Amino acid sequence: MTSVPVDAGPPRLQRAIRTPEGETFLRGLTGTRVRQNGCAAAAYAALYANVDVITAYPIRPYTAIMMNLAQFVADGILDAEYLHADGEHSQFSAAFGAGSCGARAYTGSSGVGVTYGYEMYSIISGARIPIQMAIADRTLDPPGDFGSEHTDALCTRDMGWLMGWAATPQEVFDKSLLAYAIGEDPRVLLPQMVVQDGYFVSHIAGEVEMPAAAQVDEFLPPYQLPFPLDPRRPVSHGPQIHPEQGPPLQLERARAMEDAIPVIREKTDEFARVFGRRYPHFVESYRLEDADIALVISGGHAVTCRAAVNRMRAQGIKIGMARLLWVRPFPGDDLRGALAGVRAVGVVETNLGLGGASYGGILSLDVTTALYHLDGPRPLVTSFMAGLGGETVPMAEFDWMAGKLGQAVERGRVEKAAHWVGFED
């Protein structure tokens, strides 16, 4: 028996069925508002998405996601293979394996767990297998520190995954479903990192509105990898290539990342239509219409930042906030649109990019590059190292940042590339 003829189309995979317990549980949730933290919200989203394979390995603070899912599986609410891997590298490899044969795979990690499996990121995105990784971010060693920093996820930014932070448990829930829909779309086929601030989002409760299973089914079609490892339709994944074949494949990966941009817009609008919650496509523009100064920020500290902006506006300071909902693909167009007319921009960096041109963090590298291509007068750009190690960023520190930005506007130049908030006068 030889292989199926080449003209046969890809094998069709049916929508996964739910268990009776699962259906009952989801029916009970429909239309309710549940008070839960970001970890639980992620687990609930995975439940709604009826994931097939979950690969778990414990590391704080994301572990709670997997503990929630373990209970769902044990109770028969979710029918999934729950695989407790022997390390993060194995964890991601197993998810990759499951995704490669057509199973919807879900995994996650934090901190050095994220970096332990680093080898796998380029492989999985290059192979175009759209698994989802839930990251509750955490400072990287050394030494051990449970607190939140964005470096763990950000240092993988070049590896070709879709990546973005959710600032609240509701957004964690919504973004997880959205990420699957975008990543699994046949025009995209990229894995996704749905990131939330460790502790601040992962372990502080917020209200999450639960949809109907049917809404999720409408929004999220069955995972249909066009070239799964399926005996009905054999293919080989990942043969060794000749160097000359490298550039076209790399070009294709770049194209996939760029093709993701219109799909993100489309799916975000669709999400609004199905669930009634509308998110900006890429950038939350908060009070930027007439702002002189602006803070660019990502993640849970944006909640405090919003409050700080409101207070400063009340004092007459023309300040606004641009929150990045997606870091990869980096939304250059949207950010430029949001910051047009702003005279000084401060990037809030809850991360560490040692030795870089920003002399501080990672985000400003992308922000500065994006602003360099502005058609028109470019704002001054500096960055603020804040919230490192899992520290809070209190309103006073945002005030301080605004002060620096104001000074920069007056002087016509920034004092320096990166300010270490709390360690300077």
E-strand ranges in 167-216 read 192-196, 206-209
The CB-of-263 to other proteins minimum distance in angstroms stands at 11
Q: How far apart are CA 278 and CA 284, in angstroms?
A: 11
Size of the site for other proteins (CB under 8 A): 82
Choices 119-127, 151-159, 278-286, 417-425 (CB under 8 A): range interacting with other proteins: 119-127
Choices 25-33, 45-53, 336-344, 364-372 (CB under 8 A): range interacting with other proteins: 45-53
Choices 125-133, 138-146, 343-351, 383-391 (CB under 8 A): range interacting with other proteins: 125-133
Collapsing DSSP to helix, strand or coil, 247 comes out as: helix
**By C-beta, is 124 or 348 nearer to other proteins?**
124
The CB-of-247 to other proteins minimum distance in angstroms stands at 8
Our finding on whether 128 is near other proteins (CB under 8 A) is yes
Our finding on whether 269 is near other proteins (CB under 8 A) is no
For 297-308, give one letter per residue: b (16+ CB within 10 A) or e: bbbbbbbbbbeb
**Positions in 75-114 near other proteins (CB under 8 A):** 79-81, 83-87, 89-91, 93-103, 105
**By C-beta, is 2 or 315 nearer to other proteins?**
2
**By C-beta, is 33 or 255 nearer to other proteins?**
255
Tokens of 272: 């609004």
**Positions in 170-209 near other proteins (CB under 8 A):** 185-187
Q: How far apart are CA 164 and CA 147, in angstroms?
A: 19
**By C-beta, is 14 or 315 nearer to other proteins?**
14
Q: How far apart are CA 185 and CA 71, in angstroms?
A: 30
Q: How far apart are CA 80 and CA 54, in angstroms?
A: 7
Could you say which of 75, 119, 158, 415 contacts other proteins (CB under 8 A)? 119
User: What DSSP string describes 317-374?
Assistant: --EEEEEES-SBS--HHHHHHHHTT-SEEEEEE-S--TTSTTSS-SHHHHHHHHHHT-
First vs last C-alpha separation in the chain: 77
The CB-of-238 to other proteins minimum distance in angstroms stands at 3
| Contact flags string 230-259 toward other proteins, x per CB under 8 A | xx-xxxxxxxxxx-xx-xxx-xx-xx--x-
